[in-house]
Amino acid sequence: LGPRVLRTETAGLAALATLAAAWEA
């Protein structure tokens, strides 16, 4: 896995966390 894949994974996790926070609100 390269930096690009890792970065995409991190962005995906951040997006999921944001969605989860939106659902909680």
pTM of the full structure = 0.59
Q: What is the separation, in whole angstroms, between the first and last Cα of the chain?
A: 35
Using CA of residue 8, residue 14, residue 20, residue 25, what is the dihedral sign?
negative
Q: What is the pLDDT of residue 9?
A: 94
Please tell me the predicted confidence (pLDDT) of residue 2.
81
Question: If phi over 0 gives left and psi between -120 and 50 gives alpha, with beta otherwise, what is residue 2?
Answer: beta
Predicted confidence at residue 12, as pLDDT, reads: 95
pLDDT digits (tens, 9 = 90+) for 1-25: 788 998 999 999 999 999 999 998 7
Distance CA 22, CA 7 (A): 23
Alpha helices in the chain (DSSP H): 3-24
